[in-house]
Amino acid sequence: MPSALDLLRELESLRNAYAPNLARRKRELLVSLQQCTVRSASQLQRLHATACFLCAFPDNASVLDAAQNILNAWEDRLQRLTQDQRESLIDTGMAGTNAYYEFSFHAACQLDTRFPNALEINWDEYEAPDQLDAMLVHFIGQAEEHAFEEELGEITTSEWITLAKGNRNESDLTWLLRQAFRSKNLSRLAAPLYDDAEVPLVWQLGNSTAATTNNTFNTGRAAYRSGMRKPTKNPKGEIARPLRGIQRLSEKRGQAMIDVALDALAARQREVYSMTQANPKEVYLAPLGHGTHAAIMGVKPHHRLHLEGNYGFILLANGRPVGYGGISPLFRQGNTGINIFPEYRGGEAAFLFVQLLRSFHTLFDTTRFLANPYQFGRGNNEAIISGAFWFYYKIGFRPVDADAEKLAQSEYRKILGKRRYHSDPTTLRQLAKSDLHLTLPESKKREYFKERWLTTCAVGATAAIAAQPGADRASQMKSLTREVAKSIGAKGLTSWNPHQRQALDRLAPTIALIKDLDRWTAAEKRALVSLIRAKAAPKERDYLLKLSKHDRLRQSLAKFCKRCAAPRFESLYAAIAAQ
């Protein structure tokens, strides 16, 4: 009889090969492995990855059922391992394991609400637990203060929380977060105080829906495969084609999708701001064919970036999260990147990314896509090892730096000429020195807004506020906002809702950088007022589409940034003074 390792190796060799006879063999191997006792943690992890892959990209219903049966009994399977073997599987995200991570305040709150008492402060690994005292002092009574005096040292932070918690059957984390929410003093300080405390958490995943074993979103009937898709020979033409069938989910379904996205990342010790602060009222589901989808999530109004958009996305295959990333639309460009989860690599990532860019073009009118060097190697050894640069290059991304582009062309000729040629790490690091851009045929060079100009605008905004009369920044900002509102003809501010007023407050310092505002047409000013109000709309897409069409705003900000050769205080103050 073949060993479990022999069966596993054969299954791994067939997992992304498709033919009727191979489908039958995959099912036979899965059934045999279901009946085997795998006593190696590393082999069990490989089996988990392969079963997940085959659930996402199954040949037929028989293969899907056999792979799902393996996952359904996963927690029981782990219990057959020794204690040491089980401990070696921490941070894998599988059912029955623990995840260790310093989640942000907002992520911890969401996870603790949905999985009560499953998360706990990892006191054993907390090197400086007294950092939490800055948060605790906001809800202690005067009679308790001596317990926090350093010279006494008679009670630790964890001991005090245990004492304060009393006989309540809840985790220390649950108790702490509940106090933070109910304390009037902590309404605005809780998040920064908690995050500054760098609280290590341990999450007992158990057999919860958050475990990578069980994490799925219902996208309808399962789809089956006869092969893996590859991008067309003309990716840019494909991206420029409108993607039909994109739908905005109901708020309830949107929240369910956000939960799946958060879990997919959190179980893998990852966190993305655009998903932690995702807006259930703006979640789009884009069909990418053969049971694959992209779920694209906007951010709640209060947490949006001031000029750019900010969207996170999760890629789904038969409802299973297979990858993630984000895009920050700005005018008609978007900074983006993608990361495929390890267990799903070797599939159709390039095809899915092209379709994802197509959905961005459809939703946001994006004609230029940017990828920062981190995505393909700078400070990212995983990207160097995987050769991520070539993933982007083959789709149509090209280096902005001329020397990097010459090197890329030379290397690519070698790759095409030698079947087994691979760029060495040194070369890949040289290629990761500048941004990559993919420009659609309709993209215009003059529409490009350099990302470093955002820093120029930010420092310029500080100078613009400082130039206002007033004894403090609050009065200076109020004065500047009032002045900008008058300049652009924003009337009836008392009728604007709080989010709209906040959008005006946030954008006013940037608008104040525009020297020729008095020469704008009435129509351009009305469009700017409409754009500001749209920044606070339930869907930020409304704002981004207006932003993509406001050429005068882009040109004016670009003109200001060009006058400031570098984001230096001297040149910025001079530019502000000149206005």
Tens of pLDDT, residue by residue over 132-142, are: 988 888 888 87
pLDDT in tens, 30-47: 999 999 888 899 999 999
Instruction: Indicate if the pLDDT at residue 274 is higher than 90.
Output: yes
**pLDDT, position 351:** 95
With bands split at pLDDT 50, 70 and 90, how would you rate the model's confidence at 279? very high
Percent of the chain with pLDDT over 70: 96
Instruction: Indicate if the pLDDT at residue 509 is higher than 60.
Output: yes
For 47, the enclosing helix (H) or strand (E) is: helix 41-56
Report the distance separating Cα 44 and Cα 49, nearest Å. 9
DSSP-assigned letter for residue 152: T
**pLDDT, position 142:** 79
pLDDT in tens, 331-361: 999 999 999 999 998 889 999 999 999 999 9
Instruction: Indicate if the pLDDT at residue 577 is higher than 60.
Output: no
Instruction: Indicate if the pLDDT at residue 531 is higher than 80.
Output: yes
99 class by beta-carbon count within 10 Å (0-12 exposed, 13-18 middle, 19+ buried): buried
Percent of the chain with pLDDT over 90: 77
Angle at 297 between CA 293 and CA 302, to 5 degrees: 175
The structural domains of the chain, ordered by start, are: 4-87 (no CATH), 98-204 (no CATH), 235-271+282-446 (3.40.630.30), 452-577 (no CATH)
Report the distance separating Cα 335 and Cα 308, nearest Å. 10
Average pLDDT, integer, range 504-510: 95
Alpha helices in 396-539 (DSSP H): 402-417, 425-431, 452-466, 473-488, 498-511, 522-534
Tell me if 309 sits within 8 A of 364, measured CB to CB. yes
Tell me what the pLDDT averaged over the chain comes to.
Answer: 92
Q: 104-109: list long-range contacts, CB under 8 Å, 24+ apart.
A: 104/191, 104/194, 104/195, 104/271, 104/276, 105/180, 105/190, 105/191, 105/194, 105/195, 106/191, 106/276, 106/277, 107/262, 107/266, 107/271, 107/276, 108/173, 108/177, 108/194, 108/199, 108/201, 109/177, 109/181
Instruction: Indicate if the pLDDT at residue 329 is higher than 80.
Output: yes
47 class by beta-carbon count within 10 Å (0-12 exposed, 13-18 middle, 19+ buried): buried
Distances in Å between the Cα of 195 and the Cα atoms of 28, 87, 173 are: 50, 27, 13
Q: Of 169, 183, 198, 186, which is closest to residue 108 (Cα–Cα)? A: 198
**pLDDT, position 139:** 82
Instruction: Indicate if the pLDDT at residue 308 is higher than 70.
Output: yes
Can you give 255-318 as a three-state secondary structure string?
HHHHHHHHHHHHCCCCCCHHHHCEEEEEEEEEEEECCEEEEEEEECHHHCCCCCCCEEEEEEEC
Average pLDDT, integer, range 398-403: 94
Instruction: Indicate if the pLDDT at residue 201 is higher than 70.
Output: yes
Instruction: Indicate if the pLDDT at residue 565 is higher than 70.
Output: no
For 108, the enclosing helix (H) or strand (E) is: helix 105-114
Instruction: Indicate if the pLDDT at residue 151 is higher than 70.
Output: no
Q: Of 129, 196, 202, 181, which is closest to residue 160 (Cα–Cα)? A: 129
**pLDDT, position 199:** 96
**pLDDT, position 134:** 87
Question: Helix 388-395 and helix 402-417: axis angle, to 10°?
Answer: 90
